[in-house]
């Protein structure tokens, strides 16, 4: 039986000029995951990186914690099928203020609960994207993104049966793959995307002709090894 470990990247730099970079805490989260795997003597036959800077940074930092023998025969692959959707574009099409960092921060500051306001904004932006009514506004439509993610998983299933593979990707990809495997509705994808922790792990099992879920959004390594505040969602 093969195993696929889907890792959401460490905390990125939300609100900065370049989101696609890990924060200081994001690097620490990746190190904690690597220490967890080192202590459990986990080895991987294949490492897949989703093609974004934050994916590569998480992979490099995490796996640097493993002793070399655990990665002696490991193959590294970049597969942009596991890249995240353009969340900046999705938010911008719904909320033009998102394009101006100062104006956006001022808008959020007017809310009593800025984090909750951001969640509502994100949900509304995702609903607009997923509705199909505004597909011409986006570089990648929701159905196209979903097909891309599923195709990436199917490529992995064909090439890695009976092995342990770790994939460094993003929350939107993981949630979309859960929709594919569990038959979830679009609104459940939105809910799940918001609740996946940074550097959490989702494990899939591979059987002949079938991929099933073993566990979802595990971040015990952050709770066990990390300091207070090690668990983040944005």
**C-alpha distances out from residue 61 to 2, 24, 221, 222, Å:** 24, 12, 15, 15
Categorize the per-residue pLDDT at 208 as very low, low, confident or very high, splitting at 50, 70 and 90: confident
Categorize the per-residue pLDDT at 14 as very low, low, confident or very high, splitting at 50, 70 and 90: low
Taking the C-alpha atoms of residue 20 and residue 16, their distance in angstroms, rounded to an integer, is: 9
Indicate whether 83 pLDDT > 80: yes
Taking the C-alpha atoms of residue 60 and residue 149, their distance in angstroms, rounded to an integer, is: 22
- Strand-pair partners of 81: none
pLDDT value of position 106:
76
CA-based radius of gyration for the chain: 18
CATH H-level, domain 2-80+140-225: superfamily:
Phosphoglycerate mutase-like (3.40.50.1240)
Percentage of the chain lying above the pLDDT 70 cut: 95
pLDDT value of position 168:
98
Convert the pLDDT of each residue in 141-198 to its tens digit: 999 999 999 999 999 876 555 689 999 999 999 999 999 999 999 999 989 998 999 9
**What is the SS3 assignment for 105?**
helix
Whole-model pTM: value is 0.92
Categorize the per-residue pLDDT at 15 as very low, low, confident or very high, splitting at 50, 70 and 90: low
Intervals of CATH 3.40.50.1240 along the chain: 2-80+140-225
Indicate whether 35 pLDDT > 70: yes
Asked if 151 contacts 176 with a C-beta cutoff of 8 angstroms, the reply is: no
CA angle 181, 34, 49 (to 5 degrees): 50
Chain mean pLDDT for the chain: 91
């Amino acid at each position: 039986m093969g195993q696929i470990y889907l890792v959401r990247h460490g905390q990125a730099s939300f609100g900065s000029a370049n989101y696609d970079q890990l924060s200081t805490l994001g690097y620490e989260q990746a190190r904690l995951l690597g220490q967890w795997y080192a202590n459990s003597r986990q080895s991987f036959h294949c490492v897949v990186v989703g093609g974004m800077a934050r994916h590569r940074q998480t992979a490099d930092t995490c796996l640097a914690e493993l002793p070399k023998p655990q990665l002696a025969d490991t193959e590294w692959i970049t597969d942009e099928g596991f890249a995240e959707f353009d969340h900046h574009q999705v938010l911008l099409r719904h909320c033009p203020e998102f394009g101006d960092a100062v104006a956006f921060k001022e808008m959020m500051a007017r809310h009593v609960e800025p984090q909750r306001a951001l969640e509502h904004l994100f949900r509304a932006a995702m609903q607009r994207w997923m509705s199909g009514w505004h597909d011409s506004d986006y570089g990648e439509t929701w159905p196209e993104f979903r097909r891309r993610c599923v195709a990436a998983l199917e490529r992995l299933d064909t090439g890695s049966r009976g092995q342990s593979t770790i994939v460094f990707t993003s929350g939107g990809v993981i949630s979309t793959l859960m929709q594919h495997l569990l038959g979830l509705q679009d609104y459940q994808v939105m809910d799940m995307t918001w609740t996946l922790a940074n550097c959490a792990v989702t494990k899939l099992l591979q059987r002949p002709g079938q991929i099933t879920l073993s566990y979802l959004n595990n971040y015990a390594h952050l709770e066990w090894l990390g300091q207070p505040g090690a668990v983040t969602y944005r």
